Structure 1
Amino acid sequence: MRSSNRPDRRRRDVLIALGTGALAGTAGCLDTGGDGGADAANDGNETNHSTQEEGPYARVYEETVDSVVLVQTDAGGGTGFVHDGSLITNQHITRGQSTVSVQFSRNDWREASLIGEDAYADLAVLEAELPDYAGSISLLEGQPAVGTEVVALGNPFGLESSVSAGIVSGVNRSLRSPTGVTIPDAIQTDTAINPGNSGGPLVTLDGVVAGVISAGGGDNIGFAVSAALARRVVPALAETGSYDHPYLGVNALAISPEIAAANDLPDPAGVYIHEVAPDGPTADVLQGSTGTANDAPIGGDVLVTLADSAIETPSQLSSVLAIELSPGDEVDATIRRDGGERSIELPVGTRPQ
């Protein structure tokens, strides 16, 4: 574990580090180069928490910052936070790492053990000795409303215990994670997110986590794994080290005007089933494309409802599957096939590793 008694650095070094970091990208994970920039920003001093509350942002910061940690590995750094006796962070931070250290807001360093991680949700759970002042932050139940005010807490560019403010810009997004998988039900935000914020909490002004920050895309667009997905995945990671994701085994497309015309669809409701995995759970129930017409796929089913939810986009299909269903379920669905509409039951399988 790295010592907390590190050499002071000059202000010039901080400016140089920030200038270099600004060119490092926007994925949200920080490459600290071994001796992170966090101590340079603090000049070796402990975090000084203001006792003067000047509004809702100051209040939520004071209520939650002691539960937020800097996560340090041999490959770089990021952020994590305390939840239900463990630490939550991103899987792309912990992936392939045998040594993980965490620093709490009062400069307490701890060795942490990886007890579970999941690439499909970009979540990992760490175990460490928690200081008395680091309480648990709750995960939001349900989905935040678009426009909800939120703050991101973390360590952008290694600057410890930082906070930035914004709103929830969108929900039900499909997020491409730094490891290349697509994460459903993601939260979009205009809150400033930079390298080092990965794994940190996106918190409402009530002090509840709306999402686990995963990536920043620049131009006031950042993304977080939804609290709804984290509420499903994290307990399983803490208990067994892994999580079984629900799976239909289909490749679904948005219904474009070309697809609608080629398949004589009366309206664009639903999603078009382009491919069905031959060994997937729905192989004997759903039908994929059988050919093309005017460069558009034809012959596939159109999935209109799933589990009593109207399905309008592939992202919405992924969200319903991820948040409402589990492997082993038999779920009601409505499809269009051969010009007619029918009700069917779809078996839900386990997503292959």
Structure 2
Amino acid sequence: MYLRTNGFGPRTTGRVGPGPDRSQLSPSLTYTSIEPKHSTEPMTPTRRRLLRGSASALIVGLAGCAAIPSGPDSTDDTPSPVGDGTYTSVYEDAIDSVVMIRTGQGQGTGFVVDDAHVVTNAHVVGRSTAVDVRFIDGQWRSGSVVGTDPHSDLAAVTVDTVPSAATPLPFVDDQPSVGREVVAIGNPFNLEGTVTTGIVSGTDRSIPAPTGYSIPDAIQTDAAVNPGNSGGPLMTLGGRVAAVINSGGGDNIAFGISAALTERVVPQLVEAGEYDHAYAGVSVTAATPGIAAANGLGDSRGLLVVEVADGAPAEGILEPSTRTRYYDGERVPVGGDVLLAVDGTELTTKEDLGSYLALETRPGDTVELTISRSGSELTVPIELGTRPLRRGPYR
């Protein structure tokens, strides 16, 4: 059993302030998706009222006594006090658009993004081409998987006759700030329509993809995420989707695929059935003080090129490390170019490079890399290719 648990439009992206070098972050993650199937009775109106009533009681108990935030004019980037009924309002406004997705192997969560499509995780649908989709009112619909992208762990499902109450959930326009309160909605452990709450614990995280690459620009939260939450929405109190829930590692650490990446990938899945990711073919590591000292670098900055994949766009352009040596009791790579910036954007962590390539470029684009080589700083162009379907740490 795996444990890992979307309207489209332009949006801006951004990084939140200085922080630790997240290239060293290696959480132990489990896919929170597929919960093994159990028999599910149709949801009657009475049961639905009981479910919503129970959820409301729980939410109000957690909400506290501060003033209720202002109405539609409040934005996702303006901190708002939480009052009785705030979580309930987010839940009730969204729940008709959140679905259970059932395959032959198990079940997960998804949500409506336009008048005919639902978004979920690629690992929820697996290799299935047809799925069953259940809405909160108990209605089942047939769904067809129209596209999957294992590199971003996203999938698009077309649904026969979406109920009129299931309106598309909008995405945030900007990356949510760390500390913003969020609501996770899904079907953990076959508990349909469950809501949990938390905050945005971090942004611009890098999390493992099913293909062995990394999913950049991810959102970290401390909201409870369990098996069956996969593919569900992580929502702001403004009623917008901040991320598509995809994984949880325990200890109040869970992750979601950012709205920015989802908005790039999903329209292409709907249109073409797949998504091509830009690819340079380099493996890098942050130039820590130890690496900088071992390589005789003046400053501890940038990303050291550790490896260049055979036949990759960067082959013959970037020079990788040639050996390793011990420095201060640690084996570190020696030699190779240090990446300082891409198209003028400074690179301080691996996440910076991954997020830039994922959100700002496409295969065929040419990027200008500012590098440090043998004590000199220069700029080299690289025409990006298409990421191959293989396991590896390459970007």
Q: TM-score, normalised by structure 1?
A: 0.87
User: In structure 1, the residue corresponding to 2:48 is in which secondary structure?
Assistant: coil
Aligned match of 1:215 = 247
Give the drift of 1:279: 0.4
- Structure with higher RCO (Cα < 8 A, 6+ apart): 2
Deviations along 1:15-62, whole A, 9 cap, x unmatched?
xxxxxxxxxx95311332x324x549x799642245999421111111
- Alignment partners' CA distance in 1, 2:174 and 2:275: 20
User: Residues 95-110 of structure 1 correspond to what in structure 2 (within 5 A)?
Assistant: 95-110=126-141
- Alignment partners' CA distance in 1, 2:259 and 2:216: 12
User: In structure 1, the residue corresponding to 2:112 is in which secondary structure?
Assistant: strand
- Of residues 364, 386, 389 in structure 2, which corresponds to 1:328? 364
Deviations along 1:72-111, whole A, 9 cap, x unmatched?
1110010000002310000001111243101101111101
Does the CA contact (< 8 Å) of 1:290 and 1:297 recur in 2?
yes
Distance 1:68 1:189, change over 3 A: same
Task: Note if 1:137 corresponds to 2:169.
Answer: yes
Point out where structure 1 has 5 or more consecutive residues left out of the alignment.
Answer: 1-24
Does the CA contact (< 8 Å) of 1:46 and 1:106 recur in 2?
no
Task: Note if 1:338 corresponds to 2:370.
Answer: no
- Of residues 343, 350, 355 in structure 2, which corresponds to 1:319? 355
- Alignment partners' CA distance in 1, 2:240 and 2:131: 26
Aligned match of 1:78 = 108
Task: Note if 1:30 corresponds to 2:34.
Answer: yes
Does the CA contact (< 8 Å) of 2:123 and 2:153 recur in 1?
yes
- Alignment partners' CA distance in 1, 2:209 and 2:203: 16
Give the drift of 1:182: 2.1
- Alignment partners' CA distance in 2, 1:152 and 1:180: 26
- Alignment partners' CA distance in 1, 2:211 and 2:369: 32
- Of residues 90, 93, 99 in structure 2, which corresponds to 1:69? 99
Deviations along 1:267-323, whole A, 9 cap, x unmatched?
221111011113011112111112233332222111011122211111221111111
Does the CA contact (< 8 Å) of 2:288 and 2:301 recur in 1?
no
Aligned match of 2:75 = none
Give the drift of 1:172: 1.2
Point out where structure 2 has 5 or more consecutive residues left out of the alignment.
Answer: 1-28, 61-83, 390-395
Does the CA contact (< 8 Å) of 1:68 and 1:200 recur in 2?
yes
- Alignment partners' CA distance in 1, 2:300 and 2:184: 37
- Alignment partners' CA distance in 2, 1:307 and 1:46: 56
Deviations along 1:164-185, whole A, 9 cap, x unmatched?
1111111111112456442111
User: In structure 1, the residue corresponding to 2:87 is in which secondary structure?
Assistant: helix
- Of residues 276, 282, 291 in structure 1, which corresponds to 2:323? 291
Task: Note if 1:87 corresponds to 2:88.
Answer: no
**Range that drifts further, 87-96 or 44-53:** 44-53
Aligned match of 2:48 = 47
- Of residues 58, 67, 85 in structure 1, which corresponds to 2:88? 58
Task: Note if 1:262 corresponds to 2:294.
Answer: yes
Aligned match of 1:155 = 187
- Alignment partners' CA distance in 1, 2:97 and 2:154: 17
Give the drift of 1:346: 2.2
Aligned match of 2:157 = 126
Task: Note if 1:228 corresponds to 2:260.
Answer: yes
Aligned residue pair count: 326
- Alignment partners' CA distance in 2, 1:64 and 1:115: 24
Displaced runs of 4+ in structure 1, greater than 6 A? none
Counting aligned pairs with the same residue, the percent is 46
- Alignment partners' CA distance in 2, 1:346 and 1:200: 37
User: In structure 2, the residue corresponding to 1:173 is in which secondary structure?
Assistant: strand
Give the drift of 1:140: 1.9
Aligned match of 1:6 = none
Aligned match of 2:272 = 240
What amino acid does structure 2 have at the position aligned with 1:193? V
Q: CA RMSD in A?
A: 2.1
Distance 1:349 1:180, change over 3 A: closer
What amino acid does structure 2 have at the position aligned with 1:216? G
Aligned match of 2:207 = 175
Q: TM-score, normalised by structure 2?
A: 0.78
Distance 1:75 1:181, change over 3 A: farther
